[in-house]
């Protein structure tokens, strides 16, 4: 997996850590990330998906309702959130690869309240894998790497490779959260 520490600490850029990547690397990294998340929920049952963990650092600045902005996320919530964000990165990367600078979002998140079983979590991860990998087939043979996007919270511009990998960075930022929720849920049922 890519080491995103330098990006999180703003010592390096996404472009720097993605400079030697190929589309096959992005496929491999996507498969690895989905496998890591599937492994993190291994042994979970349906009750674990809706288990409300303890998360004193919970702070959802994008919550529609301020009353729930500090609520801990369930396993189902984290999985639909991270997959939606990574899919958006994949689709925005395909636009950049084609030389298109289209503003706005390209994001759909399954309503997390509807994800109540471990089978749904696994299905959502596998569906996300399929969608992300398919997006790489939308790239031209010679991607337009001069097309870039910038984001105020990141250092440097993102070409198609870096924009795709930004989704993996987002996944990476939630892997420990997924593991911790699964750990707490299993502990609460004595496993």
Predicted confidence (pLDDT) per residue in 40-95, tens digit: 999 999 999 999 999 988 888 877 788 788 899 999 999 999 999 999 999 999 99
Distance, in Å, from the CA atom of 103 to the CA atom of 105, rounded to the nearest integer, reads: 7
pLDDT band at 97 (very low <50, low <70, confident <90, very high): very high
Give the model confidence (pLDDT) of 110-145 as tens digits: 999 999 999 999 999 999 999 999 999 999 999 999
pLDDT band per the 50, 70, 90 thresholds, residue 152: confident
Burial class (CB in 10 A: 0-12, 13-18, 19+), 16: middle
The whole-model pTM stands at 0.94
What is the residue extent of each domain of the chain? 5-188
Domain 5-188: give its CATH superfamily.
dinb family like domain (1.20.120.450)
Q: What was the pLDDT predicted at 67?
A: 76
The answer to whether residues 53 and 72 touch, using CB atoms and an 8 Å cutoff, is: yes
- The mean pLDDT value for 10-15 works out to 93
Identify the three-state secondary structure at position 158: strand
Instruction: Give the pLDDT score at 163.
Output: 97
% of residues, the chain, pLDDT over 70: 100
């Amino acid at each position: 997996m890519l080491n995103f520490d330098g990006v999180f600490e703003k010592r390096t850029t996404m472009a720097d850590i993605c400079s030697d990547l190929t589309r096959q690397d992005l496929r491999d990294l996507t498969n690895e990330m989905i496998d890591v998340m599937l492994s993190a929920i291994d042994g979970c049952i349906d009750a674990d998906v809706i288990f409300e963990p303890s998360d004193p650092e919970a702070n959802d600045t994008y919550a529609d309702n301020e009353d729930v902005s500090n609520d801990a996320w369930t396993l189902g919530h984290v999985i639909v959130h991270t997959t939606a964000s990574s899919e958006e990165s994949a689709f925005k990367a395909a636009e950049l690869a084609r030389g298109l600078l289209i503003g706005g979002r390209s994001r759909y998140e399954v309503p997390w309240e509807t994800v109540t079983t471990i089978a749904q979590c696994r299905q959502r991860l596998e569906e996300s894998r399929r969608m992300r990998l398919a997006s790489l087939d939308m790239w031209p043979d010679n991607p337009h790497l001069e097309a870039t996007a910038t984001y105020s919270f990141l250092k440097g511009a993102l070409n198609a490779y870096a924009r795709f990998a930004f989704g993996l960075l987002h996944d990476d930022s939630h892997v420990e959260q997924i593991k911790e929720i699964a750990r707490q849920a299993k502990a609460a049922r004595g496993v």
